[in-house]
Chains A and B, each alone.
Chain A
Amino acid sequence: MSFTKKPGGKALDILQNLPRITLANLRPEPGTKKAEKKRGRGQHGGNRSGRGHKGERQRGNRPRLGFEGGQTPFYLAIPKYGYNEGHSRRAQYQPLTLNRLQYLIDLGRIDPTQPIDLTQLVNGRGVTIQPQKRDYGVQLVGEGAGIFAAKVNIEVQMASEEAIAAIERNGGIVTTGFYDPRSLAVLCKPVPFFLSGQPIPKRMLPGEDMVPYYTDAANRGYLADPEKIQKARIALAQKYGYVLPDISKDELFHMLFMRKDPRQIFFGLSPGWVVNMTEKKILKPTDDKLLQYYNS
Chain B
Amino acid sequence: RYAGEAKSGILASTEEYKFVEQLISPSRVPFPPKHDGPSPFGWNPPSEVPLALPHMICRSRMHNVPASEKDVKEYLQQLTGKHLPTQVNEVTMTFRVKGHFDTALKEWLVKKGF
Smallest CB-CB separation from A112: which chain B residue? B33
Q: Size class of B's contact patch?
A: 35 or more
Residues of chain A at the chain B interface (Cβ within 8 Å): 1-4, 7-11, 99, 102-103, 106-109, 114, 119, 122-124, 147-150, 190-191, 194, 266-269, 273-275, 277, 280-287, 289-290
Are A269 and B14 in contact, CB atoms less than 8 angstroms apart?
Answer: no
Known contacts A7-B91, A286-B9, A286-B10: does B55 contact A106 (CB below 8 Å)?
A: no
Neighbour of B41 across the interface among A3, A147, A194, A273, CB < 8 A: A147
CB-nearest residue of chain A relative to B55?
A3
> Residue B13 at the A interface, CB < 8 A?
yes
Contact status B90-A277, CB under 8 Å: no
Report if B11 contacts A (CB, 8 A).
yes
A110 shortest CB reach to chain B, Å = 9
Given contacts A4-B93, A107-B30, A147-B42, 8 further A-B contacts (CB under 8 A): A7-B93, A8-B90, A11-B90, A102-B40, A108-B30, A281-B17, A285-B8, A286-B10
Smallest Cβ-Cβ distance to A274: which chain B residue:
B10
State A202–B14 Cα separation when bound (angstroms): 21
* Chain B residues within 8 Å of A282, by CB: 12-14, 16-17, 20
Contacts of A274 in B (CB 8 A): 10
Q: Does B47 contact A (CB under 8 A)?
A: no
Q: List residues of chain B with CB within 8 A of the CB of A286.
A: 8-11
Q: Which residue of B lies closest to A273 (CB)?
A: B16
Q: Are the C-beta atoms of A1 and B10 separated by less than 8 Å? A: no
